Amino acid sequence: MDPDPDEDLVRRVASGDEAAIQSLIGRKLPRVLSLATRMLGDPAEAEDVAQDVFLRVWRNAARWQSRTARFDTWLHRVALNLCYDRLRRRKETPSDATLELVDSPGVDLAQSEDASHRVEQALQGIAERQREAIILTYYQGLSNIEAAAVMEVSVDALESLLARGRRALRAILAKDTDNG
């Protein structure tokens, strides 16, 4: 395994170094937040997840061992687990907010915002594991090997999820264009 680029920073965080803490927040918070926002389709819930992820970072920094996994891989896994907890809870008790999220296309948005909104809805419309695969490789920029490690699947399985996910997105977005 290549050296972990975050190893030194995490070690300094574990000793309570305030500059390192600030640096880790600057480096990782945007990544965690965008991952959670795209997985959940709800910015407020994504913020809660981001806070929970960082609580775990502060709690576990001293015990962190770079030999077992890269810090970024571990961080993605923690964030995804927290997202899945919330997605599971949503299925058990669908709230008004969730329904509103899926059924609210009619807001007056500028064209670029509208495109972003359509993609967001399409992402929420595909299977969770396909969404996870696309977010990790396309938006988070993880390599196929890193994404497969986070998802605990083989690279073959990852490619299958990606291809099916992109096909499903294309179908939803094409239908959306036809209806629009």
Does residue number 119 form part of the binding site for other proteins (CB under 8 A)?
Answer: yes
Report 120-139 residues binding other proteins (CB under 8 A).
120, 123, 134, 137-139
Q: Which of 99, 102, 109, 115 binds other proteins (CB under 8 A)?
A: 115
Q: Kindly state whether residue 167 participates in binding other proteins, applying the rule CB under 8 A.
A: yes
- The nearer residue to other proteins, 18 or 92, going by C-beta atoms, is 18
Q: Is 156 a binder of other proteins (CB under 8 A)?
A: yes
DSSP 28-95: HHHHHHHHHHHHHS-HHHHHHHHHHHHHHHHHHGGG--TTTS-HHHHHHHHHHHHHHHHHHHHHHS--
* Options 15-23, 68-76, 81-89, 124-132: segment touching other proteins (CB under 8 A): 15-23
The span from the CA of 45 to the CA of 84, in Å, is 12
Binding window for other proteins (CB under 8 A); candidates: 47-55, 65-73, 76-84, 101-109:
47-55
Residue 175: half-sphere exposure toward Cβ, Cα within 13 Å: 9
